[in-house]
Amino acid sequence: MTGLAVRTRGLTKRFGAQTVVDTIDLEVPTGTVYGFLGPNGSGKTTTIRMLLSLVAPTAGEVELFGAAVPRHAARVLPRVGSLVEGPAFHPYLSGRRNLHRLDAADRTCDPRSAGARVDAALDRVGLLAAADKRYRAYSLGMRQRLAIAGALLTPKDLLVLDEPTNGLDPQGTREVRQLVGSLAGDGTTVLVSSHLLAEVEQMCTHLGVMHVGRLVAQGTSAELRDRGDAEATVETDQPQDAARVMTELGVSGVHVARASATGTLGGVAPEKVVAACVHAGVPVLGFRVGRPTLEDLFVSLTGEGFDVSG
């Protein structure tokens, strides 16, 4: 993994008096699956449109593979495939015929090899056996995979997917998730925009979190998990006494359940909690240390809930 597939500096978009994207510095390393996460309306789609030169930024810079966009868009965008706001195909044509129409619109492609390109793209997304079915007979998952096939008619170094699992049933969601993993395994950098935390968490190696137009967090999945303070839980039949001991040690936010007490360690060493409880005569039946979930972290960053269903 070398360099950045996507880099922005101070990227901003205003529509009149409304700032939709506010001075974001996005960094997507090559060879990663980058989850671009945030509630609906947080500015994800507008950012993607600026990356693809579909919308002109009000301020800031965009680079794809080190080339400034839109100045060098003609050179670099052929290396980029995208699916923005869902697929649009002719329902009465087969999957194969739909892809042939897309391929014919690309003036850089040799029409003599169109059949090979189309079949290769269909095979890549697992639709070759259903290539001659009409599009209207496709399931939602198959339609999304056909749209991705359209983006892969020629080899791509970067694939940008805006809400690729939106509206899909669990089977369709799994199909798209497996496809993204397969593409990344072959070396394609994938930028996945979503408001579905569970899906992003399963697919992505890197994450960026948007909220009200601002990029509030960015890094590897592990780095973002480590941002939250560790929590300690003492399992005991005297939870009130355990909570008192933990509070005296400096553990913050201690709350009591029926058979446990939990609090944020901060700078308190975990082993001191156990030792202090034992010294105070509080029986310790179990002890565990964990970090807040990604859901907890994102809610703390954005101040609102995420749709965590898959």
Which CATH number does the domain housing residue 92 bear? 3.40.50.300
Encode 34-53: b = buried (16+ Cβ within 10 Å), e = exposed.
bbbbbbeebbbbbbbbbbbb
pLDDT at position 278, please?
A: 96
Assign 224 a pLDDT band (cuts: 50, 70, 90).
confident
pLDDT value at 127 more than 50: yes
255 falls within a domain: yes
For residues 46 and 14, the answer to whether their CB atoms sit within 8 Å is no
Asked if 219 and 240 sit in the same domain, the reply is no
Q: CA 2, CA 258: separation in Å to the nearest integer?
A: 51
Q: CA 9, CA 1: separation in Å to the nearest integer?
A: 21
Asked if 222 and 251 sit in the same domain, the reply is no
Note the pTM of the prediction, 2 decimals.
Answer: 0.78
Picking from 180, 208, 226, the residue at the C-terminal end of a domain is: 226
Phi and psi of 27, rounded to 5°?
Answer: -135, 110
Encode 168-186: b = buried (16+ Cβ within 10 Å), e = exposed.
beeebbbbbbebbeebbee
Asked if 40 and 104 sit in the same domain, the reply is yes
Asked if 209 and 253 sit in the same domain, the reply is no
Q: How many domains does the chain have?
A: 2
Share of the chain above pLDDT 90, in %: 63
Picking from 205, 226, 247, the residue at the C-terminal end of a domain is: 226
Which CATH number does the domain housing residue 242 bear? 3.30.70
CA atoms within 13 A on the CB side of 224: 25
3-state DSSP call for residue 127? coil
Phi and psi of 23, rounded to 5°?
Answer: 50, 60
Asked if 145 and 262 sit in the same domain, the reply is no
pLDDT, tens digit, 9 for 90 and up, residues 230-253 = 889 999 999 999 999 999 999 999
Asked if 279 and 263 sit in the same domain, the reply is yes
Structure tokens of 149? 């096939």
Asked if 118 and 75 sit in the same domain, the reply is yes
Q: CA 11, CA 147: separation in Å to the nearest integer?
A: 28
110 falls within a domain: yes
Residues spanned by the domain of 282: 231-290
pLDDT at position 208, please?
A: 93
Asked if 281 and 166 sit in the same domain, the reply is no
User: Residue 15: exposed, middle, or buried by beta-carbon count in 10 A (0-12, 13-18, 19+)?
Assistant: exposed
pLDDT at position 172, please?
A: 79
pLDDT at position 303, please?
A: 66
Assign 132 a pLDDT band (cuts: 50, 70, 90).
very high
The single-letter code of the amino acid at 69 is V
| Structure-token match 């308190």, residue found | 268
Chain centroid to Cα 66, Å, comes to: 22
| Structure-token match 């966009």, residue found | 69
51 falls within a domain: yes
Structure tokens of 220? 């590897």
